[in-house]
Amino acid sequence: MSVSDPPLRCLTAANPSPLTGAGTNTYLVGATDLAVIDPGPDLAEHLTAILATVGPGQRISHILVTHAHLDHSALAPRLAALTGAPVHAFGDAHAGRSAQMAALAPHLPPAGEGLDLAFQPTHLLADGGTLSGPDWELHAHHTPGHLGGHLCLALGRVLFSGDHVMGWATSIVAPPDGDMGDYMASLARLQKGDWQRFHPGHGPAVEDPAARLAQLVAHRRAREAAIQDQLASGPDHIPSLTRRIYQDIPASLLPAAERNVLAHLIDLASRNLVSAEPALHPDARFSRL
C-alpha cells in the first residue's frame, strides 16, 4: 500500500469568529475510501459541501475528530448517519482531563470554547493508534493541552494538528478543559518529530513546523516569565495580575486572559514555583516561591 501522496482536500466551514479565524477546516484524505478529519460545526451547508466532494467510486469510510469542541465535532453524528462511517476520537468531551482539573471544574465558569457534551465516538482512538485506507495511513498522537482528549493525526511527515498548533493564532488553554503543563509537554513531543507541514484546524497550512513550534514554546515561556516577574513585587490575585500583564487588550478579552493566567499559575504551582493561598483556586492569592 502506498501512503506517499494521497489526495487531500480542505473545506472551510462558514463559522468565522475571533476564536475560529476564517472557520473550521475539514480535511478529506484519500482517492476512494475517504477519511474526513474534523467534520466541523453542525451547519447544513457544510454537510452539503462535504457530501458534494464525494465523487463516483468514492465513499466516506472514516470520520476522525481531533477533539470534542462544537466547531470540530458537532457535525459528526449527522455525517455518520448519512454515510455509515464510524466516528473515531480519543474520547468524549471530558476524556483525558486530569484529577486536578476535575477538582477545579466546579469552581470555574464555562471556558467559552464550546464543549460538545453530547459527543460520543463510535470507536476510541488511543495514542499510537492507526487507521488506514487503500492509499493512506493515519497515526494518532495524543496531544492534550487545548483539551484533554486532543489528537493530532500524522500522514507520514504531514500532521493534522487540530487546535494544538495553528499558524494564525496561539491555542487557547483554558482550565479545566485546557491544561498548560500538558500543552507544553505536547509541544515538546511534537518537536521531536521531523515534520514537513502542519494542517491546522483553523487557518492556512504551517509550512515550517519546527519554527512554529519554537515560537509557541517561546511565547508561553515569555508569558510564564511575565507572571513570575509581576509576582516578584508581591502576592496578587488573578484579576489584578492579569490587568498588569495584559495592558493592551480590550476589556472584553480580559476574562479569556484571566483564564490563560490561571492556566500558567496552575502549571507553575505544580512545579513549586508559585504558591496559592489558601488553596489552588481561581480566587486564591498567588505568591512567587
Assign 3 a pLDDT band (cuts: 50, 70, 90).
very low
Give the dihedral of Cα atoms 272, 276, 281, 284; nearest 10 deg.
-150
CATH of the domain at 275: 1.10.10.10
Say yes or no: 173 and 268 in one domain: no
Give the pLDDT of residue 108. Answer: 82
Full residue range of the structural domain in which residue 248 is found: 218-288
Mean pLDDT along residues 76-85: 98
Query: What is the DSSP code string of 158-212?
Result: EEEEETTS-SSSPPP--TTT--HHHHHHHHHHHHTS--SEEEESBSS-BS-HHHH
Residue 2 has pLDDT above 50, yes or no: no
Say yes or no: 132 and 95 in one domain: yes
Q: Of 186, 207, 228, which residue is a domain's last? A: 207
88-128 pLDDT, tens per residue?
999 999 999 988 899 888 888 766 569 999 999 999 999 99
Cα–Cα distance between 49 and 39 in angstroms, integer?
Answer: 11
Mean pLDDT along residues 172-200: 96
Say yes or no: 188 and 244 in one domain: no
Q: Is the peptide bond before 176 cis (omega within 30 degrees of 0)?
A: yes
Give the pLDDT of residue 189. Answer: 98
Whether residue 122 lies inside any domain: the answer is: yes
Among 95, 66, 65, smallest CA distance to 77 is for 65
Say yes or no: 239 and 194 in one domain: no
- Please provide residue 6's backbone torsions phi and psi, each rounded to the nearest 5 degrees: -70, 155
CATH of the domain at 82: 3.60.15.10
Residue 140 has pLDDT above 50, yes or no: yes
User: Is residue 76 classed as helix, strand or coil in its secondary structure?
Assistant: helix
- Please provide residue 7's backbone torsions phi and psi, each rounded to the nearest 5 degrees: -55, 140
Residue 254 has pLDDT above 80, yes or no: yes
| CB neighbour list of residue 109: distance below 8 Å, 6 or more residues apart | none
Provide the domain count of the chain: 2
Residue 4 has pLDDT above 70, yes or no: no
Say yes or no: 226 and 197 in one domain: no
As given in the structure block, the three cell numbers for residue 243 are: 490587568
Q: Calculate the alpha carbon distances from 239 to 242, 254, 258, 259, 277 in Å.
A: 5, 8, 6, 10, 15
Give the pLDDT of residue 251. Answer: 86
Could you give the angle at the alpha carbon of 187 between the alpha carbons of 11 and 201, nearest 5°? 10
Whether residue 14 lies inside any domain: the answer is: yes
Among 252, 228, 222, smallest CA distance to 241 is for 228
Whether residue 235 lies inside any domain: the answer is: yes
Whether residue 2 lies inside any domain: the answer is: no
| CB neighbour list of residue 255: distance below 8 Å, 6 or more residues apart | 112
Whether residue 1 lies inside any domain: the answer is: no
